[in-house]
C-alpha cells in the first residue's frame, strides 16, 4: 500500500478543520497509508524581511528532515491541476513503484526556495493565498478524491 504523507508547518487549532482532516484521513485508509507530520512553526511578531528569511530557513530545515519519497510542494507558482489530473499523477507514481509520496505545506510565509528545489514537483491550488491550516483540509480532501477517482467510486461527480 502506498504511503501518502503531508508534511505541514504549524498546528491546526480550529476544531472544524481538525474534524474535516480526520474524516478524510479515515476515508483514505482504504486506499493508502496516510499520515500528517506537523512541524514547529516559527513565531515572530511583525517580522522584517530579514527575519522572514530566517523563518523560511529554519522551517525549511525542519521540512527537509521530514522529506521522504516523491516530494510535491504546495506553492502559489506551482502547476495547477484538476482533480482528475491529480488522480492520474498519483496513479502514475503508484504504477511506477513509488512507495511514498510526500506533500509539503509551508507556514505563514510559505516554503524556502531550497525546499522547492529539492521537490520533484510544485503544485498550486489557486492564484489566491489560503491559510496553511485550511490548505490541509483542501489537500487531504483532494488526495482522497484522487484515490476515489482511481478506484472508480461515486464520490467524485
- Asked if the structure places residue 157 within a domain, the reply is no
**Per-residue pLDDT tens for 1-17?**
899 999 999 999 999 99
Contacts of 110 (CB under 8 A, 6+ apart): 56, 75, 76
Kindly state the percentage of the chain with pLDDT values over 70.
Answer: 99
- Asked if the structure places residue 156 within a domain, the reply is no
Mean pLDDT computed over 106-117: 95
Question: Given a cut of 80, is residue 157 above it in pLDDT?
Answer: no
Question: Given a cut of 90, is residue 95 above it in pLDDT?
Answer: yes
Reported in sequence order, the residue ranges of the chain that DSSP labels E, i.e. its strands, are 3-9, 33-39, 70-80, 100-105, 121-124
Regarding predicted confidence, which is higher, 154 or 149? 149
Cα(64)–Cα(75) distance, rounded to whole angstroms? Answer: 16
- Asked if the structure places residue 87 within a domain, the reply is yes
SS3 category, 104: strand
**Per-residue pLDDT tens for 28-73?**
999 999 999 999 999 888 899 999 999 999 999 999 999 999 999 9
Confidence of residue 156 (pLDDT cuts 50, 70, 90): low
Res 68: pLDDT: 97
- Asked if the structure places residue 19 within a domain, the reply is yes
**Per-residue pLDDT tens for 134-146?**
999 999 999 999 9
Contacts of 139 (CB under 8 A, 6+ apart): 6, 74, 103, 105, 125
As for how many domains the chain has, the answer is 1
Q: What CATH number did the domain enclosing 101 receive?
A: 3.40.1280.10
Res 113: pLDDT: 97
**Average pLDDT of the residues of the chain:** 95
Give residue 116's domain range.
3-151
Amino acid at each position: 500500500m502506498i504511503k501518502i504523507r503531508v508534511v505541514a508547518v504549524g498546528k491546526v487549532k480550529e476544531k472544524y478543520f481538525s474534524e474535516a482532516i480526520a474524516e478524510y484521513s479515515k476515508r483514505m485508509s482504504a486506499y493508502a497509508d496516510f499520515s500528517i507530520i506537523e512541524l514547529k512553526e516559527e513565531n515572530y511578531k511583525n517580522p522584517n524581511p530579514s527575519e522572514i528569511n530566517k523563518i523560511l530557513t529554519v522551517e525549511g530545515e525542519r521540512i527537509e528532515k521530514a522529506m521522504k519519497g516523491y516530494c510535491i510542494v504546495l506553492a502559489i507558482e506551482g502547476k495547477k491541476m484538476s482533480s482528475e489530473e491529480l488522480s492520474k499523477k498519483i496513479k502514475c507514481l503508484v504504477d511506477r513503484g513509488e512507495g511514498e509520496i510526500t506533500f509539503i505545506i509551508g507556514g505563514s510565509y510559505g516554503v524556502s526556495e531550497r525546499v522547492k528545489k529539492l521537490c520533484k514537483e510544485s503544485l498550486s491550488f489557486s492564484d489566491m493565498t489560503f491559510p496553511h491550516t485550511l490548505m490541509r483540509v483542501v489537500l487531504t480532501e483532494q488526495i482522497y478524491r484522487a484515490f476515489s477517482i482511481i478506484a472508480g467510486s461515486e464520490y467524485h461527480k
